[in-house]
């Protein structure tokens, strides 16, 4: 057990560097303690990936990966909006970890889309628990396919943690472009573990405003894009 744990720690330090690794651990412990105290629960999901993948339009959804609080906070801090102005849409929200943090930070509103039904139900439970202890941020959770979901009016920040493959990512971008054609505001996109970031960079109105590369330069840990309205 100990050698395995040390190996994981060494790999994390190699990926993040010692400075970011320490900040990552401190941030993670703080928010875990905070949410545990509020009765918020993120169970390990045992639903077969193949079962969920069969439900997706392009059969390229990825297993839910838990976002770390350090990456989420860094991304939120690079959005050029006050938290109280952010209407967040989380595509592939899992059990609601990002949404719950956004509620804690007092965003204007939060919406989660999740294709795996039991995760969507857990997200609803966690958000209701937040409201039960006095949180006033309105939330909605939908069991749906992100590539087919109609983006609600007012959405100005979209969050994703490597939720699906390139084909679905292109469909999602088309959906965002269509949505923005009826809006008068800029759209920010937070993409964690941005495997298919070129999908967004290939769109002329989409500009990368922040990127965090892993210490070993193997991948993009966080990318934040801004799509400007006409």
Query: Tell me, what CATH number does 109's domain have?
Result: 3.40.50.150
What six digits make up the tokens of 39? 């009765």
State CA 91 to chain mean position distance.
7
Q: What is the pLDDT of residue 50?
A: 45
Listed as ranges, residues in the chain with pLDDT below 70 are: 1-5, 9, 11-13, 15-16, 45-65, 214-218
The reported pLDDT for the residue numbered 186 is: 92
Report the Cα 8 to chain-centroid distance in Å. 23
Three-state SS at 85: helix
pLDDT value at residue 96: 94
Residue 107, SS3 per DSSP: coil
pLDDT at 30: 93
User: Is 93:113 a contact under the CB 8 Å cutoff?
Assistant: yes
Residue 28: domain span: 2-227
Report pLDDT for 48: 44
* DSSP three-state, residue 104: helix
Q: Please give the tally of structural domains in the chain.
A: 1
What pTM does this model have? Answer: 0.86
The arrangement of strands across the sheet holding 220-227 comes to 139-143, 109-114, 87-91, 157-161, 187-192, 220-227, 206-213
């Amino acid at each position: 057990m100990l050698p395995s744990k040390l190996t994981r720690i060494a790999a994390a330090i190699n990926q993040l560097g010692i400075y970011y690794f320490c900040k990552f651990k401190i941030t993670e412990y703080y928010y875990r303690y905070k949410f545990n105290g509020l009765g918020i629960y993120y169970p390990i999901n045992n639903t077969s990936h193949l079962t969920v993948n069969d439900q997706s339009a392009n059969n390229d959804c990825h297993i839910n990966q838990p976002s770390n609080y350090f990456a989420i906070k860094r991304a939120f801090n690079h959005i050029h909006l006050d938290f109280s102005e952010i209407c967040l849409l989380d595509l592939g929200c899992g059990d609601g970890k990002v949404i719950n943090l956004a509620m804690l930070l007092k965003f204007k509103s939060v919406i989660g889309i999740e294709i795996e039904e039991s995760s969507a139900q857990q997200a609803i439970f966690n958000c209701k628990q937040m409201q039960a202890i006095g949180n006033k941020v309105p939330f909605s959770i939908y069991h749906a396919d992100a590539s087919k979901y109609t983006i609600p009016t007012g959405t100005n920040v979209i969050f994703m943690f490597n939720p699906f493959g390139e084909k679905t990512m292109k469909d999602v971008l088309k959906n965002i472009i269509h949505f923005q054609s009826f809006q008068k505001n800029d759209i920010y996109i937070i993409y964690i573990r941005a495997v298919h970031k070129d999908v967004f960079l290939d769109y002329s109105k989409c500009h990368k405003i922040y990127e965090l590369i892993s210490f070993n330069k193997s991948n993009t840990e966080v990318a934040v894009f801004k799509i400007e309205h006409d």
